[in-house]
Amino acid sequence: MIPGGGGQPDMQQLLQQAQKMQQDLAEAQQELAESTVDGSSGGGLVKATVNGAGELQGLVIDPKAVDPEDTETLSDLVLAAVRDAVAGAQQLQQQKLGPLAEGLGGGGVPGLPF
């Protein structure tokens, strides 16, 4: 057999590519962990902040949104703001990690939402 011949992939090159992809993935995950995304509802009455992984980091409720007689509406506003922020975090994940998943053959990465 001829080394590297017959259309066989160069194992050293494959190993280097895999290591680069692993490094790129770790860097993208670190960027996501350090990023924050804001979401809001009720015209800004409720604001939620999540990190790039979608974990809730902060919640701000304008006093005008608080009506002791109508806590259901406040709950809906909080839920909508958090969902808005999480949707933004998912978009950020797609931007940061999507190209890496394509580099893996486009089959997606287990544990990631794409």
Dihedral of the CA atoms 96, 86, 57, 81 (nearest 10)? 150
30 or 107, higher pLDDT: 30
Q: Is the pLDDT of residue 114 over 50?
A: no
pTM above 0.85, yes or no: no
Q: What number is the average pLDDT over the span 68-86?
A: 95
Contacting residues for 41 by C-beta, under 8 A, at least 6 apart? 76, 77, 78, 80, 81, 84
